[in-house]
Amino acid sequence: MTRSIFFYATQSLIIGMVFFSCSKDDSEDLCPEGEFQSVINLHAPVTGGQGEPSSGNFTKFNFSSGQITESETQWDIGLRGTTIIVNGGESSGIVDEPTRNGNAAAYIENNTFWCVQNVNLNLFSQDSVSSLSIPTGSENGWYSYTGSPNHLILPIPGRILIFRTHDSQYVKVEILSYYFDIPTNPDSMLDQSRYYSFNYSYLPN
């Protein structure tokens, strides 16, 4: 049985809309935990691969509602396998990608989730025919691929994804796992893959 996606938030209050960055060397007191939501087991299936072209619908997600959406316009990111696209920019030429009609963009911050406290507007990029705003491939974006014999997709610690949503809000995302139910020690032969679990903070404009 597939577990439903669920969300929760801490009771702490995030004060203000614009974040302030602190370095990893700063004391933890400068990076207090705040309000966040969690998404567990968001399925992002893909067909093909292993030498064949990848295809299939992207799972579209809306941060404001905290839900998967079938809307052609009200989506922020699309996920398929390890690929993440944004609803902004232009077609990258990927098979079966949805039409982009929003203002979404993204960049990657190297820090801890709580210490990423501001948005650098100069770093945002949108998808294009030449590149995706969240790069694909091991070590290029959010994950590393361990190769033989384990063949695991593992989120890179300290890679925080910063998104501008389709309607120009801001979100920070920490991907926790690519495997169903967030196994502590995933096994590619036993654990179901392409199930994203992540934390995010959404700040309405």
The residue with tokens 């014999």 is 149
pLDDT digits (tens, 9 = 90+) for 140-184: 999 999 999 999 999 999 999 999 999 999 999 999 999 999 999
Q: Give tens-digit pLDDT for 103-138.
A: 999 999 999 999 888 899 999 999 999 999 999 999
Specify the pTM: 0.85
Q: Any idea what DSSP says for residue 5?
A: P
Distance (Å, rounded) from C-alpha 116 to C-alpha 114? 5
Task: Give the C-alpha separation, 107 to 125, whole Å.
Answer: 7
Domain residue spans of the chain: 28-203
